[in-house]
Structure 1
């Protein structure tokens, strides 16, 4: 179990590092891109969170028809938030035959709070089965 916590902690730190780097990039005036649009990079995975609501299998089938191969579902944030749509989003994406990954949006500022967030995330993952 200790190894698993360390792995989650490394994952959280990696995601936070990427978020800090991305935070400094501004996309003012960037046009929207439709998945599968000619001349644009492939969209292998899409990020799904509670902002997307209860996506249906048909929604994920539509994404798949445009080249999407999988989804990464936001499960938790900090030690206070659980995506209420996560299980339905995962089930619908699986029914569409997509690959599934999950993530935790970290807010920690100390090593202790990082461990607390990792525990929060792993508890929710276990509860989901």
Structure 2
């Protein structure tokens, strides 16, 4: 994730026209792109359905959407990213960026996260994991940050979220947290080697391998306009597989279709006669 230091170009949205994206291809030695994480840094107004359909067709199974931060912020792209990723048939997960420096603030942030998850359309019973992103400096000692993080996780479970996980950097995990005292195992860790190799994470896991975020500057072939992405390999299946019978995953990826003006007008209950189409065309140049 590490969005605080990223600058990503703005996204120009499209309105239902056919796209000429090229599905990405991966060198056999590179780690898999099992899932990505996104926020408004990738697209201020959210990534379009066509983007998610395209990467789903290339093998990307899941997405982790930024929803909130601290107890004051909600990501403006969250609802669009969740809706479009779900429609494309991807496993939808969500994350919150931690700012807490006490148990009281950890509980408060969990309550904030819960409210914003509901606001942006995340379903605690039908969608995937909710993840706490712990990487900010100045949160406290390793013992304190571990305690606050456990408090957050326990509060989320008390609010009805049965699938809760931890994301952080490998260095932070092993230096600013105490892994053996965390109430979650098989975490999602970031480590960006110069030459990443498939199924050989450089992240140092202590209590089981969950997922490895191996790059933060990945570009999908043919879709450089969308900027860089964080990409991860999923070992525990948390972010790419159905975790319950109630989890909603749309069957099939679907395709982008060219919709005629007549069909569009009829779908909206409009008069689609030639004279009305002429008036509409003249009005929009």
How many angstroms apart in 2 are the aligned matches of 1:126 and 1:92? 16
Match of 2:103 in 1: 111
Q: Deviations over 1:56-115 (max 9, x none)?
A: 111112211332101000100001110111111111111111110011111111111101
Partner of 1:50, secondary structure, is: coil
Bigger Cα Rg: 2
Runs (4+) of structure 1 moved beyond 3 Å? none
Aligned length: 97
Identify unmatched segments of 5+ residues in structure 1.
1-18, 23-34
Identify unmatched segments of 5+ residues in structure 2.
3-23, 122-285
After TM superposition, list the pairs within 5 Å mapping 1:28-67 onto structure 2: 36-38=25-27, 39-53=29-43, 54-67=46-59
By relative contact order (CA 8 Å, sep 6+), the higher-ranking structure is: 1
**Structure 2-normalised TM-score?**
0.32
How many angstroms apart in 2 are the aligned matches of 1:88 and 1:128? 8
Structure with greater helix share of residues: 1
Match of 2:61 in 1: 69
CA RMSD of aligned residues (A): 1.9
Partner of 2:54, secondary structure, is: helix
Q: Deviations over 1:8-62 (max 9, x none)?
A: xxxxxxxxxxx9xx9xxxxxxxxxxxx6421211111100111111201111122
How many angstroms apart in 2 are the aligned matches of 1:65 and 1:42? 14
Q: Is the 8 A contact 1:36 1:67 kept in 2?
A: no
Match of 1:120 in 2: 112
